[in-house]
Amino acid sequence: MTRFHLPDLIRSVSTLVLLGCLSAHAAGPSTSATFQGDPVLTEEQLEPGRYLTRVSNCAGCHTVANGKDFAGGPPIPTPFGTMYGPNITPSREHGIGNWSADDFWNAMHDGKAPDGTLLYPTFPYPQYTRMTRTDTDAIYNYLMSQPAADTPSRPHELRFPYDQRPLLRLWRAMYFDHGALETDPAQDYQWNRGRYLVEGPGHCAACHTERNRWGGSNLRKDLEGGGILGLNWYATPLTGGERGLGNWSTDDIVELLLTGASRHGTATGPMAEVVTESTQHWNAQDLHAVAAYLKTLPASSESTSTPTPAEAVMSIGGKVYQQHCAHCHGDKGEGDAPAWPPLVGNTSVLAHSPTNVLQMILKGGYAPATETSPRPHGMPPFHGLSDTDVAAVATYIRNSWGNDAPPANAHDVARLR
């Protein structure tokens, strides 16, 4: 959950995942009666949709920096090519102005455009399918109340055979678990609300669940962390255990989602965008519901044992750390949160993959700007270090002061440059 970063790609998202309301081309005219939203809805009546649009982070894929709201998003790098979030304003020519509420529901629930075209799962309909019709209607009405933008949607740039939409039938048969989420009567309202937000509009599994080479989620490892395909970042586990949220309190989770920082670390990279555009705007009840639900998830059953780093590597890493890192993060990795995140017990530091630590060493760490912290501290990049030194200091950080995580190597560093 913590310590992701990448300011130059902060609005990008990975393959078959991440933030947006319709990350596939809004194909075809409506085949059902057109409904442009209720023109007499008041701001108060539109508020649920505005809020849910924030929770779902539609702007993350459908709005470029300094661009018109929902008029089309930035490039989305994936292993299959580049995708673009389309225009989802009420424009009849370039947006979804000809879509009915039923059409919008079918896109969110079934991953299909009005003419039956299958949508690419870069648009996270595998998660949005869990949402209620009431909530998707609220989002639809809010989007239809926004100014129409006559900005053409950019076509995706996918390599063959990934540009063949009929192949999505096979992908859906293997990886799309269709259906709205049902309330668990054995749990209380807060738990059910938290689960709904995590599995539905918050679409946390889109990043925090391991994916295979085809972008399909491994549901047996739901929310146990995974690499974000196309971005070279690792989404840490949201389950229990020391590599996940086992040492976090519910207040720690709420603080991170609300402010972008906690005593366990700082949200940077893709997660910083999530905080800036989405979670800092959630109400307190929903933040606490998410935290309460996540704290009930068990730890991964996988072994956490790691190989012992070579003494020579630890020696080099220790010297690099004292020269470049200790001034801010402390001689023993204690840090001084929130300005200088602690490295001891930091979830991203302890992650199975060293990717996040390497990314921040190479490219710097930039916390999100939030209402509570409009000018957060940042960490400069150290890309001038050699691959060997970067790998050594990452290994040192991940295996000092009680930390225990797999070592990094120079090949890992070279891959990320």
Would you list the domain boundaries of the chain?
19-175, 189-294, 311-416
CATH code, residues 311-416:
1.10.760.10
- Sign of CA pseudo-dihedral 403, 405, 409, 412: negative
Phi, psi values for residue 378, rounded to 5°: -130, 165
Query: Where does 107-159 show beta strands of DSSP type E?
Result: 157-158
277-300 burial code (b ≥16 CB/10 A, e <16): bbbbbbeeebbbbbbbbbbebebb
352 is annotated as contributing to ligand binding = no
Q: What is the dihedral of CA 286, 266, 407, 239, to 10 degrees?
A: -10
Lowest mean pLDDT among 23-37, 56-70, 217-231, 249-263: 23-37
For residue 304, pLDDT over 70 is answered with no
To the question of whether residue 61 is assigned a binding role by annotation, the answer is yes
On whether the CB atoms of residues 343 and 328 are closer than 8 A, the answer is no
Q: Residue 175: is its pLDDT beyond 70?
A: yes
What's the pLDDT at 38? 52
**Contact 122/78 with Cβ under 8 angstroms?**
yes
At residue 6's C-alpha, the angle toward residues 5 and 10, to 5°, is 105
More confident residue, 373 or 54: 54
Domains 189-294 and 311-416 belong to one CATH topology: yes
For residue 27, the model assigns a pLDDT of 44
Q: Give CA–CA dist 222/162, Å, rounded.
A: 25
Is the pLDDT at 313 greater than 70, yes or no? yes
5 annotated binding-site participant: no
At 221 the pLDDT is 87
Would you state the structure tokens that stand for residue 202, as one six-digit string? 């918050």
Architecture (CATH level 2) of domain 189-294: Orthogonal Bundle (1.10)
pLDDT at 25: 42
21 labeled part of a ligand binding site: no
Q: Is 204 annotated as a binding residue?
A: yes
Q: What is the mean pLDDT of residues 60-79?
A: 94
Phi (first) and psi of residue 388, to 5 degrees: -65, -45
Residue 316 has pLDDT above 80, yes or no: yes
Rounded Cα distance, 379 and 168, in Å: 41
